[in-house]
Amino acid sequence: MRALVSLIGAALVMITLRDLFHTLWHPTRHGGLSRLVMTALWRTARRLRTPGRVVGLVGPLAMVTVVGMWAFTVVLGWAVVYWPHMPGSFTFSPGSEAAREPALLDSVYLSLVTVATLGLGDIAPAESWLRLVSPLEALVGFVLLTATVSWVLEIYPALTRRRVLAVRLALLRDADPPTRQLDCTAGAMLLESLATEVARVRIDFTQYAEAYYFHDGEDHSSLAATVGYATVLAQRGRAARRLEVRLAGSLLAGALTDLAAVLDQRFLHTGGPSTAVFAAYAADHGRDGASPSAGVSSR
């Protein structure tokens, strides 16, 4: 029975480590529990129709919640591993009151101290296998800390790339260049550079799916509000006379199709064309009035 309880604790730790690996390091970044937590917080905020400032906290709050969930389950899992063997398989420092506490409380305390790598030493494992397991928990605690820091450092550059593209599209939407202005070498370079930036954002949504749950705030920095205009530019580029401009327009259209496919597959599930996906993306981020041709005249 004691071995079975310890195995349950070990299984809880392994489930947590698997979720951490799939969220941060797996190529497809398909976290299970972490994705459910983030999706639930986002949908709750959208259903409650919270103000923009509150929605803007969903992304950071979701990351904090996921990290807290990982830490809690790791501590709990190792406490369950220790629990059946407490206090007989552990030694206590002279004069310590820990041996008089309930076994579960001592197990949670030891797990917290170990995962935080404090090493107070008032409770120490006596059996050989426990002496091997305890340092592993300290190693997992160190991995959890470094993984959290690297996660934060990775997500914000991805958000910056997305917002830069949004601002650039907003500026182009204000200028609203017609097909004749795009029908030149500079126009081809512009469309090609936009295609590259769209492809980068598409990869960011693949590798950092949690970036979707960060609200971009103002319209001019919101990709949800401006990505539709990129389809307008792609159409104008494909209607140009110069071959290089038509090629650049096709590249931009293809990049937008890939981006829409990722958004639809991972987040929106509309099953519709790119225009429908971008409209759903705008609505999900509070940009219900945004459309590909919002504020754009036909040229």
pLDDT for res 31? 60
- Output the CA–CA distances (angstroms, integers) from residue 280 to 168, 207, 285, in the order listed: 21, 21, 9
For the chain, percent helix, then strand, then coil, each to nearest 5? 75, 0, 25
Q: Which residues of the chain have pLDDT under 70?
A: 27-31, 49-54, 95-100, 218, 287-299
CA dist 209 and 132 (Å) reads 36
How much is the pTM? 0.80
C-beta of residue 162 within 8 angstroms of C-beta of residue 218: no
Sequence-distant (≥ 6) Cβ neighbours of residue 173 within 8 angstroms: 226, 229, 295, 296
pLDDT for res 250? 97
Question: How does pLDDT run across 222-242, given as a tens digit for each residue?
Answer: 999 999 999 999 999 999 999
Question: How does pLDDT run across 11-41, given as a tens digit for each residue?
Answer: 999 998 888 888 887 766 666 777 888 888 8
pLDDT for res 29? 62
